[in-house]
């Protein structure tokens, strides 16, 4: 029986730490911090953790609670340009750097994050 990516990196513990590290930075960020729900930090963290865990082979909690991800549609109300995408990636990289994960798993996560950040850009 093969191990899922989710299990291989440490499951819920890994994704919780990744998202917590990311959001610790977002709360203080002047560029993308204001895009996040100031009255629902915990909910925003939970949703991102659900999404990442599900994408990488973990529980399907995101779909059960929120429906299909529709990432671009959900983020369309926010003006996301190259600067915002680069800042998001920088904070994700910082968070990822704090975790123990194999180079192959880190590369796979990073490649996905770079593609998602580029896909979210909706302004010049």
Report the candidate in 122, 123, 116 with the shortest Cα–Cα distance to residue 48. Answer: 116
Q: How many domains does the chain have?
A: 1
Q: Which residue in this structure is represented by tokens 């991102």?
A: 48
**Residue 20 within any structural domain of the chain:** yes
Q: Is 2 part of a structural domain of the chain?
A: no
**Cα 69 to Cα 63: distance, rounded to the nearest angstrom:** 7
Q: Tokens at residue 121, please?
A: 């850009």
Asked if residue 110 is part of any domain, the answer here is yes
Q: What is the pLDDT along the chain (124 residues), one digit of tens a residue?
A: 678 999 999 999 999 999 999 999 999 999 999 988 888 889 889 999 999 999 999 999 877 777 665 565 655 677 889 999 999 999 999 999 999 999 999 999 999 999 999 998 988 8
Domain that holds residue 113: 7-120
91: in domain = yes
Whole-prediction pTM: 0.88
């Amino acid at each position: 029986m093969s191990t899922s990516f989710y299990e291989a990196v440490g499951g819920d513990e890994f994704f919780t730490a990744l998202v917590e590290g990311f959001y610790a930075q977002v709360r203080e960020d002047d560029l993308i911090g204001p895009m996040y729900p100031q009255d629902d930090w915990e909910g925003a963290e939970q949703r991102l953790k659900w999404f990442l865990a599900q994408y990488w082979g973990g529980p399907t909690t995101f779909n059960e609670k929120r429906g299909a991800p529709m990432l671009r549609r959900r983020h369309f109300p926010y003006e996301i340009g190259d600067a915002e995408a680069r800042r998001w990636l920088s904070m994700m990289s910082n968070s990822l750097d704090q975790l123990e994960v194999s180079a192959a798993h880190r590369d796979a996560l990073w490649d996905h994050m770079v593609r998602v950040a580029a896909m979210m850009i909706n302004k010049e």
